[in-house]
Amino acid sequence: MPDTVITYIIRRLVAAIGLLVIVSAVTFSIFYLVPRWAGATPETLATRYVGRAATEDTVKLTAERLGLYDPIAVQYWNWAKGVVVGAEYDYGAGVERCPAPCLGYSFITKQPVWPELLDRIPVTLSLAAGASVLWLALGVAIGVLSALRRGSIFDRAAMTVALAGVSLPIFFTGLISLAFFSYQLGWTVPGGTFVKITDNPIKWAQALTLPWITLAFLFSAQYARLTRAGMLETMNEDFIRTARAKGLPERTVVVQHGLRGALTPIVTIFGLDVGLLLGGAVLTEKTFSLPGLGKYAVDGIVANDLPKILGVTLVAAVFIVLANLIVDLLYAVVDPRVRAK
């Protein structure tokens, strides 16, 4: 059994690497081709590194050193090689080493992308971790209660709010909660003040409370509806009647038999949602000015900063691929019938 699990994981990881190659190649092509269609040349691209004041020769030299004259396939190959083994850039004034995973240098800040990403990942991770725990607990609890009291005032109220939660955009609920909790009540700081959990856990939580709640509201709505539907189905199953016939207390029947039976789709969606969120909660980070991956990506796209965009895309893709793998493994943990296959 464990043997087959390990070969399964290895197979999936190999497939995942293939997927990452495809994702990065596609992104690379898009952001390589689009500026060129818009009239950009290797020289204008090189200008972005050396500045407009540079002489034509300097620009040409830079473009050459950056490999901007190479065909697209060669450029992609060099970029991918940098990710795996690192790269060396010769600026004329000396050789600069960019250790693996080398994601290149930002056109704008001239800083290496990977360390910048490393700074951003904890922000997005903190955001996703707190929000997901919150929405899972909230959504599942509300969904279960709604299903058990189907048709009651609680059920109807919860499902109405859930419908609103699913349909309202995050910048709307986010700005409203900002206006209310931060500016009106002064309970939380308005954002933009991310502090690492290792530096000061209290400030960390304070800065993230509002984004957590806003995100959790959006997501728990969906989870409440999903849980409710699943519970309504499983609580009608024969095995629930059996559980009651054994004399189990109703709480055990609901949680260990009902909810357990309804868990599979919830686990699946949860894994995928967390994976997506780790790629950057663009709107939330923007609304609350959190310096996470999402905001980094937007900044990159706005400035047409190819190395940044590629870097974030790759990291986001890694998160999503990993989340998928974990979901599939969890699936087997949750449903023993899957294990046989």
From CA 134, how far away is CA 33, in angstroms rounded?
A: 42
Task: Take residue 102 and report the two structure tokens written for it.
Answer: 């080398």
CB of 331 to another protein, least distance (A): 12
Environment class of 290 (CB within 10 Å of its CB; exposed 0-12, middle 13-18, buried 19+): buried
Which CB, 167 or 236, lies closer to another protein? 236
CB of 244 to another protein, least distance (A): 6
From CA 53, how far away is CA 15, in angstroms rounded?
A: 47
Beta bridge partners of 105: 112
Handedness of CA 317, 287, 284, 230 (dihedral sign): negative
For residue 183, give the DSSP letter: I
Phi, psi of 140 (to 5 degrees): -65, -45
CB of 2 to another protein, least distance (A): 16
Interface with another protein (CB under 8 A): 237-239, 241-250, 257, 260-261, 334-337, 340
Q: How far apart are the first and last CA of the chain?
A: 11
> Alpha carbon 49 to chain centroid distance?
30
CB of 317 to another protein, least distance (A): 32
Which CB, 39 or 336, lies closer to another protein? 336
Beta bridge partners of 90: 95
Which CB, 131 or 243, lies closer to another protein? 243
CB of 224 to another protein, least distance (A): 22
Which CB, 120 or 257, lies closer to another protein? 257
CB 317 within 8 A of CB 24: yes
CB of 151 to another protein, least distance (A): 11
Which CB, 64 or 250, lies closer to another protein? 250
The number of residues in the chain equals: 341
Task: Take residue 68 and report the two structure tokens written for it.
Answer: 């901007």
Which CB, 156 or 260, lies closer to another protein? 260
